[in-house]
Amino acid sequence: MKNFSLGKAFVPVVGAIALIYLLVPIVQVIVFSFNDAGRNNIIWRGFTLDNWQNPCGAPQVCQAFGNSILVGVVATVIATVLGTMIAIALVRYKFKGSSTVSLLLFTPMATPEVVLGAGLAAQFLLAGVEKGIGTIILAHTMFCISYVVVAVKARVASLNPAIEEAGRDLYASPAQVFWRITLPMLTPGIIGAALLSFALSFDDFIITNFNAGTATTFPKFIYVSALKGVPAQANVLASIVFVGALALVIIVQMININKQKRMARQ
């Protein structure tokens, strides 16, 4: 008891409470993916593996999930390519209006999603564009670019120009310097930005709801189904996404740890 300190115990206790608070909804999703729910997945009715054996059993759940994957992948690829080019341009080149561009890139991040979604919906309406998967991709690409630029820009700013200069001194062309030196050094930042973009796109509901038309994504399906209990099959798909993301994080961490060990041995 003499060694007990309230100050030392405060941080671990608060951390444990916060962790439990974050994990309880995830645990509930996973647990209720095994619920013998029938038409209602609010009350526990018994354990079953049928939901995992037939994850597409609920009407439209797999279609909505597939739409979210499609939108997330396409929007991420476009946003990552454009955002990376913008980040390199802002850091490496000085041009008129660069500070204004940097400021405007933060606008989608600072604007409430309901305002952003309504504004985009109005623009599509005025342009006579039919809402669907295409408009969702355009909307997601727009707000994902900002996050990519911020993430990649920090990575570009941290690069040592002397390494690229050494490549040019060895008679490498600008294209060779970029593909063999600059891009490999930027890859960790680009991958991180792409993963963030995909997560934001896959998870988005507000902007999607304004610009989806009759198309249904996984978040929209969950929202519509929430009143009578999200189908257990949706919980199965959500659990798969969570486990997959967790496995990816663990694999990346293990790779980084092994890389650090090899560098320490050298």
Q: What's the confidence (pLDDT) of residue 256?
A: 77
Region 23-28: mean pLDDT is: 90
Say whether both 210 and 78 belong to one domain.
yes
In a domain, 219, yes or no: no
Region 11-35: mean pLDDT is: 89
The residue among 211, 216, 209, 204 whose CA lies nearest residue 124 is 211
> pLDDT class for 74, splitting at 50, 70, 90?
very high
Q: What's the confidence (pLDDT) of residue 84?
A: 93
Q: What's the confidence (pLDDT) of residue 108?
A: 84
**Domain with 187 in it:** 62-214
Q: What percent of the chain has pLDDT over 90?
A: 34
In a domain, 26, yes or no: yes
In a domain, 144, yes or no: yes
Region 187-201: mean pLDDT is: 90
> pLDDT class for 8, splitting at 50, 70, 90?
confident
Say whether both 205 and 239 belong to one domain.
no
Q: What's the confidence (pLDDT) of residue 210?
A: 93
Region 4-20: mean pLDDT is: 81
CATH of the domain at 183: 1.10.3720.10
Region 152-163: mean pLDDT is: 86
| Domain total in the chain | 2
| Average model confidence (pLDDT) across the chain | 87
Say whether both 236 and 174 belong to one domain.
no
Say whether both 71 and 194 belong to one domain.
yes
> pLDDT class for 6, splitting at 50, 70, 90?
low
Evaluate if residue 227 carries a pLDDT over 80.
no
In a domain, 92, yes or no: yes
Phi and psi torsions of 33, nearest 5°: -75, -15
Report d(CA 19, CA 22) in Å as an integer. Answer: 5
Say whether both 205 and 94 belong to one domain.
yes
In a domain, 128, yes or no: yes
CB 69 within 8 A of CB 241: no
Evaluate if residue 73 carries a pLDDT over 90.
yes
Q: What's the confidence (pLDDT) of residue 261?
A: 81
Q: What's the confidence (pLDDT) of residue 178?
A: 85
Region 169-196: mean pLDDT is: 86
Question: What amino acid occupies position 122?
Answer: A
Q: What's the confidence (pLDDT) of residue 80?
A: 95
Contacts for 220 with CB less than 8 Å, ≥ 6 apart = 64, 205, 208, 209, 212
Say whether both 141 and 161 belong to one domain.
yes
Evaluate if residue 180 carries a pLDDT over 60.
yes
Q: What's the confidence (pLDDT) of residue 159?
A: 83
Region 41-47: mean pLDDT is: 83
In a domain, 149, yes or no: yes
